[in-house]
Amino acid sequence: MTPPAPAPLPSSPPSTLREGGSEPARDLGRVGAAGARRPRAPSLGRKVVVGALRWALLPAVTFALGAVASGRRAEATPEQASPYAMLGQLGRVLVHIENSYVDPVDRTRLVDGAIKGMVEELDPHSGYLRPEEWKLFQSDTEGRFGGVGIEVDGKDNELVVIAPIEGSPAERAGIKSGDRIVSVDGADVRGQGLDKVVKRMRGAIGTKVKLGVRRDKQTLTFELVRETIHVTSVTHKLLAGNVGYVRIKQFQEGTHGELLRAAGKLRAEAKGGKLSGVLLDMRSDPGGLVDEATECADEFLGQGGIYSMRRRGQIIEEARARSGGAFADVPVVALVNEWSASAAELLVGALQDNKRATVVGVNTFGKGSVQTILELPMGAGLKLTTARYYTPSGHAIQADGIHPDVVVEAGRTPDAPQVTREKDLPGHLPAEGSQGAGARGSGAAPTAGDAGAGPAVSSDLARDVPADPAGSSDVVLRTGYQILMVEVQKRPAR
* Catalytic residue positions, numbered: 342, 353, 367
For residue 270, CA distances in Å to 237, 244, 246, 300, 355 come to: 10, 8, 14, 18, 25
Give the other-Cβ count within 10 Å of 123's Cβ. 17
Report the half-sphere exposure of 305 (CA within 13 A, side-chain side): 15
Phi, psi of 114 (to 5 degrees): -65, -40
CB 341 within 8 A of CB 251: no
Q: Which of 276, 391, 407 is nearest to 336 (CA)?
A: 407
Rounded Cα distance, 297 and 311, in Å: 23
What DSSP string runs through 353-419? HTT--EEEES------EEEEEEE-GGG-EEEEEEEEEE-TT-BB-TTT-PPPSEEEPPP--TTSPPP
SS3 424: helix
**Backbone angles phi and psi of 115, in degrees to 5:** -65, -45
Q: Which long-range contacts (CB under 8 A, 24 or more apart) does 184-187 make?
A: 184/209, 184/210, 184/211, 184/212, 185/209, 185/210, 186/210, 186/212
Residue 181 and residue 197 in contact, taking contact as beta carbons nearer than 8 Å? yes
Calpha distance 132→116 (Å, rounded): 14
Q: CA 10, CA 37: separation in Å to the nearest integer?
A: 6
Any idea what DSSP says for residue 467?
Answer: S
Bridge-based pairing of strands 72-73 and 406-408 is unpaired
Q: What are phi and psi of 310, to 5 degrees?
A: -135, 140
- Please report which helix (H) or strand (E) contains residue 137, including its range: helix 131-142
Tell me how far apart the alpha carbons of residues 113 and 96 are, in angstroms, rounded to a whole number: 16
Give the start-end residues of each E strand in 270-348: 277-281, 305-311, 314-320, 332-336
- Tell me the C-alpha distance between 254 and 103, whole Å: 50
Instruction: Report the alpha-carbon distance of residue 431 to residue 444 in Å, rounded.
Output: 22
Report the greatest alpha carbon distance in the chain: 81
